[in-house]
Structures are given as C-alpha cells and as structure tokens.
Amino acid sequence: MSLPPGVLHALQDAVGSAHVVTDPALLAVWERDGSIARGLPDVVVLPATTAEVQAVVGIAARHGLPLVARGAGSGLSGGAVTVCGGISLQTTRMRRILRIDPSRRWALVEPGVANGDLNAQAERQGLFYAPDPSSRRTCTIGGNAAENAGGARSIRYGVTGQHVLGAEVVLADGTVHWLGGESAERSGFDLLDLLIGSEGTLGVITRIQTRLVPLPEVSATIASAFDSVAAANGCVSEVLARGVDPAALEVMDATTAAAVEARFRIGCPAGAGAVLITELHSSLSAAGEQLAETASAVRVSGGAEVAVATEPGEAERIWEARRGAIAALAGIGPNFYLHDMAAPRSQLPELIALAAEIGRDCAVPVASVFHAGDGSLHPTLLYDARERRALEAVVAAGEAMLLACVAAGGTLTGEHGIGVEKSDLLSALNGPNEIRSMVGVKRAFDPAGILNPGKIFPSPAAGARPEPRAGTTQDAQWW
Ligand SMILES: Cc1cc2nc3c(=O)[nH]c(=O)nc-3n(C[C@H](O)[C@H](O)[C@H](O)COP(=O)(O)OP(=O)(O)OC[C@H]3O[C@@H](n4cnc5c(N)ncnc54)[C@H](O)[C@@H]3O)c2cc1C
C-alpha cells in the first residue's frame, strides 16, 4: 500500500517532520514485535501529546488507513505488527510520569512510560506498581493496559486490569474520552474494562491512571530445586494450603533451569527436574512464620532450597535469572517462539509433558516456564530460522499445544493476548455467537476497521478489515 497523496505532509504537519519515519531501511525496525509475525508499516509517527495522537487518528480515519498503536514492541502475539501496512503510531515520546499521589496511592502516566520506570519512581515514595511482566524494563504501561498484561505477581496482586483506575483514549473517530476513575462504581457499561485487553483495536490510550500499592515490609525470594515439574507444582499447592500468601510462584522446567543455571549461576544442582521461585511479601511480624512454612512445604514436597534472598540485591539476582530465561535458551536454538496459554494449576505438569512430547514429534526442542499461581504457561519452541521448514514445524507444534490446552479446560492466552498469531484459533474457545458479539463491539467503536486490523478476530469475521498487503506478512497466519 502506498500512502494516498497528501497523507505524508498531513502527518508531518501533525507531529513535526522529525517525528515521521518513511525511510524503508528504518521502517524495518518496526516490522516485528517479540513474536514471529511481521509486516512493514508504510510510515511510523511518533506523537508527543494527546492532541497529536488525535490529529494522526483523524488523518487515518479520513483516508481509511490502518493505524496500529505501538509501545515498546515487546508483545509476543504480533499485536503491534502492521500486518496490513499503514501507520505505526509509536508512543515512546509520550513517556512522562505526570503525577504520583502517595496519599491516594495512584499515578497518572502517559502510555509510553516503561513499567520499570514507573516502579523506580513509585518506590521512592514507598509504593510500587504491581503488574510485573518479565519485560518490565522496556514494556510500556500503554502496552500493558492494551494486553491486560500479567506477570509473576499476578497470584497476589492480579493483572493490569485490576490496577488501572482510569484511562484517556482517542477513539477511531478522533474524539477523546476519559474512562473510569477513582471510584470503583461505574454507571452503565464499564467501558474501561472493555478497553483493557482490547489490544489496540478499540482506541489509542493516551493517559493512564494506575493504582499503586505500598511496598511490603519484608520481601524474600526463595529458589528451590525439585526432581520433576510435578513435584514443584505439588509444592505450590502445599505452600498455598499452609496459608502462605505468596507474591509470586514461578516454575522453570528442567531444560530452562539448566540453561539459566549455566548462564546465571543461582546454585541450582545439575540435573534438577524443575526450579520453583517463591516470592514472599509480608509484614515484619509474619515474615519468620511465612519463611518457615515455605521451607517446610519445600521439604515435604521432596525439594531443596538452593537460594534464600532477603536483601533486594540478592533477590534481584534470582529474578534476573528468571527474566533472562529466554536469552539463556539461545544456546539450544537461536530463534524462539514463546507461546502463552493458561490452564487450571492441576493440569500444568501434564500440559508441560505434552508440550515436550509435541515438540519431540515435530523435532522442535521445547523449554517451559509457568506462573504457577495463575496457571499462565509458556512453552518456548527453540529453532533455527535458517533451516528450511523450521518455522512451519514450530507453528504446527505451537498450534497443537494451544489446542491441547483448550482441551484440558484452559484458554488460548494467559497474558500475551490473541494478536495475529492466535486469531484463527479464537473459535476453538468461543462460539460463533460470542465472536459475533465481539465483532459487533469492535464495529461500534471502529466502523471502518482502521484500528489494528487483522488482530484478535478470525478472518474474515471482522469484515471491516482492509485488504492485506501482499508480501509483507509471510509469517502471519491469519489469512
Ligand atoms: C522477554 C519477554 C518477557 C515477557 N514477559 C511477560 C510477562 O511476564 N507477562 C506479560 O503479560 N507479558 C510479557 N511479555 C509480553 C509483553 O512484554 C507484554 O504484552 C507488554 O504488555 C507489551 O507492552 P509493549 O509496550 O511492548 O506493547 P507493544 O508490543 O508495543 O504492543 C502490544 C499491544 O498493545 C497495543 N498498544 C500499545 N500501546 C497502546 C496504546 N497506547 N493504546 C492502545 N493500544 C496500544 C498494540 O497495538 C499491541 O496490540 C514479555 C515479552 C518479552 C519479550
């Protein structure tokens, strides 16, 4: 798609020509996110204010151009990929933390603020922003809201939706609205709730008011090794049954644990079948008992504690290792396809074994991690994209895993969204009436289908989707 006459000048007028990118060599930077999907935008714009976003949305609406909001591009389902070409609207110039109100415990931020930056500021006031995707150093609060991102701490604090109090949004017709607010009560439909997790298909978020919570008096992180994923998962149940209220429960399978140990040296024994990382947030008075109960739960579940960190620096070393798991796996395969699904906790060991089996059948090594608390499961398929047909095998294996998860009572996504990668599988989980209702909502917000076309809905149900651009989306699977 080449841009209609006049569009480039209008965009340059709207945001300043220094903030409009059309050089094909540079556009390649925006071709992908963290997934395997790809699609070149025709133009990238970097607005700095809500008014500039409004102007850009207005131009897209007048010319019927696809417009895809983009934060850090760390998404893992192709959400920020311009699969139909058009405008990539990058929010990272909108990265001001506008206010932190410690007495009312909220922050007002622009969408391009990195999750880690908000936390660094909030911590100076004794508070923190709880949703903690492993990508938190780079991913933006806007991207988190659009994906309803989760993280290790979801078990205790919930996902992004439980922390967004309000948001300013520019709709497809260019109007600006404030949704939600400090009061939990909503009059009529809860449009804020609809916006959170809508993956950029209903509007461009330009400001977000987030809840902040007090830093715990004591934070402790414990890494324990087990013979098997089932034993580590059993320990999770044991910890919870003892009334411990953990802030995080993360499990790495044997392959991931070995790769992480080789790179980060957290003290995990060779040949461990799984590693469980438990984080405890508690009051000073309860900390001793919580630590003792956790240690005892590890013992009775057949595990052994390999590291106990009560100082922030030591704990960060363990979390760096967990967050660095994908990089650590690069020795097995230079490319990765990280899947995301969620299932009841009791099903997780079986699903991990099944994922490994599917991988073996397709000759694709698989390494898994899961947020044991909320059942978000991430089998990571490792491959070498230079090998012929490697990607085909990986896509087939990934799809088989997702369908197995749905068959086991799970869902297609735990936290990364449907994006472009799983849109054609949506009907495996939702009936035609449900999908029709969702498409109806999309059309009510965006009748011309300009906002993030090609995402969430199976083709061709969304109807309003513009024609795909030939040749730029060879890995995207939705048509
Ligand atoms: C190593 C790694 C670890 C990860 N760990 C986790 C994890 O633990 N938990 C988790 O949930 N995710 C995780 N992710 C996935 C990803 O980081 C999250 O989905 C994150 O929320 C995406 O934020 P982003 O700023 O990168 O958004 P992008 O990737 O840029 O965009 C994601 C989606 O949000 C939309 N969007 C972005 N900004 C806006 C806006 N202002 N208005 C409207 N729509 C918008 C885009 O159109 C797109 O659909 C991980 C990713 C990586 C690479």
pLDDT digits (tens, 9 = 90+) for 416-432: 999 999 999 999 999 99
331, 339, 267: which is closest to 304 by C-alpha? 267
Whole-prediction pTM: 0.93
- Check residue 460 and give its pLDDT: 56
- Check residue 476 and give its pLDDT: 28
CB of 146 within 8 A of CB of 183?
A: no
In the block, which residue shows the tokens 């994906």?
Answer: 147
CB of 232 within 8 A of CB of 296?
A: no
Host H or E run for residue 98: strand 97-101
CB of 326 shorter than 6 A to ligand 1? yes
Write out the chain's pLDDT in tens, 479 residues.
689 999 999 999 999 999 999 999 999 999 999 999 999 999 999 999 999 999 999 999 999 999 999 999 999 999 999 999 999 999 999 999 999 999 999 999 999 999 999 999 999 999 999 999 999 999 999 999 999 999 999 999 999 999 999 999 999 999 999 999 888 777 889 999 999 999 999 999 999 999 999 999 999 999 999 999 999 999 999 999 999 999 999 999 999 999 999 999 999 999 999 999 999 999 999 999 999 999 999 999 999 999 999 998 899 999 999 999 999 998 899 999 999 999 998 899 999 999 999 999 999 999 999 999 889 999 999 999 899 889 999 999 999 999 999 999 999 999 999 999 999 999 999 999 999 999 999 999 999 999 999 999 986 544 333 333 332 222 322 22
- Report DSSP letters for 249-292, one per residue: EEEEEHHHHHHHHHHH---PPTT-SEEEEEEEEE-HHHHHHHHH
User: Ligand 1 centroid vs 291 CA: distance in angstroms?
Assistant: 33
In the block, which residue shows the tokens 């947030």?
Answer: 281
Which atom of ligand 1 has the smallest separation from the CA of 136?
Answer: 17
Q: What is the Cα–Cα distance from 56 to 75, expressed in whole angstroms?
A: 23
Give, using CA atoms, the residue closest to atom 7 of ligand 1.
133
User: Ligand 1 centroid vs 142 CA: distance in angstroms?
Assistant: 8
CB of 143 shorter than 6 A to ligand 1? yes
Which atom of ligand 1 has the smallest separation from the CA of 94?
Answer: 41
Which atom of ligand 1 has the smallest separation from the CA of 455?
Answer: 49
CB of 47 shorter than 6 A to ligand 1? no
261, 279, 274, 266: which is closest to 301 by C-alpha? 274
Q: Which of 77, 94, 134, 339 to mutate to test the pocket of ligand 1 (most atoms within 8 A of CB)?
A: 134
Give, using CA atoms, the residue closest to atom 49 of ligand 1.
79
CB of 199 shorter than 6 A to ligand 1? yes
CB of 416 shorter than 6 A to ligand 1? yes
Taking the CA atoms of 109, 444, 35 and 259 in sequence, report the sign of the dihedral they define: positive
CB of 133 shorter than 6 A to ligand 1? yes
CB of 376 shorter than 6 A to ligand 1? no
